[in-house]
Chains A and B, each alone.
Chain A
Amino acid sequence: GAVVSQHPSRVICKSGTSVKIECRSLDFQATTMFWYRQFPKQSLMLMATSNEGSKATYEQGVEKDKFLINHASLTLSTLTVTSAHPEDSSFYICSARTPREGDGYTFGSGTRLTVV
């Protein structure tokens, strides 16, 4: 089946630094990928929709200058958390629509970001 690979799985960074998270579709092309954030014991919150070759679409309340999204190819989208602060500590998950009808969305394994 369709696989979405996400790296790193865990990252600890100092406050004020930037962190890049990669999301790759391994065996299919994904013109659109989605980035979610999930705080402990809360639901998935869609942050932005990443579109290959064009600007990402951000959800209301998500700072586009803080969460930089680049979707430079049909298999790779990156999310960069710039000038990270402790309140950015969260579980970040990417997903892509699988090419086979009926499979919905496939999720990456997630990235646990801790800002200290």
Chain B
Amino acid sequence: QKEVEQNSGPLSVPEGAIASLNCTYSDRGSQSFFWYRQYSGKSPELIMSIYSNGDKEDGRFTAQLNKASQYVSLLIRDSQPSDSATYLCAVNPAGNQFYFGTGTSLTVIP
């Protein structure tokens, strides 16, 4: 079982819709969770971090964490074509360990 699992997609949504990206993790003791965005040919950039159960909102982005279900998600409201990228879920179980999912490719169709 992989440490972090994501649906690779591709996920396509029309412009203005809500894009929902999901991630599950295996280490129940994990405390820190991150979403990164990676454009083609570029390195990942941090979008959101979340530590507590529930929702965390930042602009059009909302991260949701459910530790009991070992599930973390990212919602993108009012999706824009510029949101088209690969979204990486990352989990930090402890110390410097840091596990990335394989990423979900998102395409926002104008």
Binding site for B on A (CB under 8 A): 6, 32, 34, 42-44, 49, 91, 93, 97, 102-110, 112
Residues of B within 8 A of A6 (CB): 43
Number of inter-chain CB pairs below 8 Å: 44
Q: Quick check: A44 and B88 within 8 Å, CB to CB?
A: yes
Closest approach, in angstroms, between the C-beta of A43 and any C-beta of chain B? Answer: 4
Q: Quick check: A107 and B45 within 8 Å, CB to CB?
A: yes
Closest approach, in angstroms, between the C-beta of B56 and any C-beta of chain A? Answer: 10
Enumerate 20 A-B pairs (CB-CB under 8 Å) in ascending A order.
Answer: A32-B96, A42-B102, A43-B100, A43-B103, A44-B88, A91-B41, A93-B44, A102-B49, A102-B51, A103-B46, A103-B49, A104-B32, A104-B34, A104-B49, A104-B90, A105-B90, A107-B44, A109-B43, A110-B43, A112-B41
Closest approach, in angstroms, between the C-beta of B86 and any C-beta of chain A? Answer: 9
Q: Does B28 contact A (CB under 8 A)?
A: no
- Tell me the nearest residue of chain B to A93, going by C-beta: B43
Give Cα distance in the complex from A6 to B51, angstroms. 29
Binding site for A on B (CB under 8 A): 32, 34, 36, 41-46, 49, 51, 88, 90, 92, 96, 98, 100-103
Give Cα distance in the complex from A106 to B32, angstroms. 15
Q: Check A104/B46 contact, CB under 8 A, given A32-B96, A43-B102, A43-B103.
A: yes
Closest approach, in angstroms, between the C-beta of A25 and any C-beta of chain B? Answer: 15
Residues of A within 8 A of B100 (CB): 43-44
Q: Which of A97, A105, A108 has the most CB of B within 10 A?
A: A105
Closest approach, in angstroms, between the C-beta of B5 and any C-beta of chain A? Answer: 11
Q: Quick check: B103 and A106 within 8 Å, CB to CB?
A: no
Give Cα distance in the complex from A98 to B106, angstroms. 27
Give Cα distance in the complex from A42 to B101, angstroms. 11
Give Cα distance in the complex from A42 to B105, angstroms. 11
- Tell me the nearest residue of chain B to A34, going by C-beta: B98
Q: Check A105/B98 contact, CB under 8 A, given A44-B44, A110-B43.
A: yes
Give Cα distance in the complex from A104 to B42, angstroms. 18
